Amino acid sequence: MTRAKGEPAALAQSVSATLADDPALQVKDVGSATHIIGSSLTAVDLSGLTSIELAFALGMAVAAAGLMLGLGFLDRRRSFAILTAIGAKPHQLAAFLWGEGLLVTVGGLVFGLLSGLTMAWMLVKLLTGVLTRRRTPWPSRQAISLWVLVLLLASIVAAVLMSRKFGQGNAAELLRDF
């Protein structure tokens, strides 16, 4: 690295002429080096990384929502048996299960949307100027986001439907299992 009080491009030309005997050495001024680095950053294709991240989000959303609800319901089988023993009807237990599923869905979507938008805004602010020339593949992101939502809802519905059987049957038999 060489510093000059004058024009960096002129200094780069004089150093390049001095080192012309060795073709392995390259001399660039600050402006051209900045241009090369900036253009190489914008040449990176981020669509593969985006697809991997969205697929990971799909798996996490489905597993977290479905497992949280399913395991939570499984853990409260005794409570459901007691509610059945004191007279709760199956449709009342089902309403409780669907209500909890709805609460988890709405809460998760609101929190996920707010945190995702905040993170996206921050990343756009940080990377503005570096990745300004990139075109993002929006249709594939929208399709994957729709799959995330559909499979998330399907996992919650599956957890609730599998848990509905906990309150069905004879109350004495349900309590005897505990």
Half-sphere exposure of 89 (CA within 13 A, CB side): 3
Per-residue model confidence (pLDDT) at position 36: 67
Per-residue model confidence (pLDDT) at position 57: 78
Q: What is the mean pLDDT of each run of 10 residues along the chain (178 residues)?
A: 69 74 74 65 65 79 82 82 83 87 86 86 76 55 76 85 72 65
50, 97, 177 from 119: Cα distances, Å: 14, 32, 47
d(CA 163, CA 99) in angstroms, rounded, equals 13
8 Å CB contact between 166 and 77: yes
pTM above 0.75, yes or no: no
Per-residue model confidence (pLDDT) at position 19: 74
Per-residue model confidence (pLDDT) at position 40: 57
Per-residue model confidence (pLDDT) at position 143: 75
Phi, psi of 120 (to 5 degrees): -65, -40
Nearest to 35 by CA among 148, 133, 118: 133
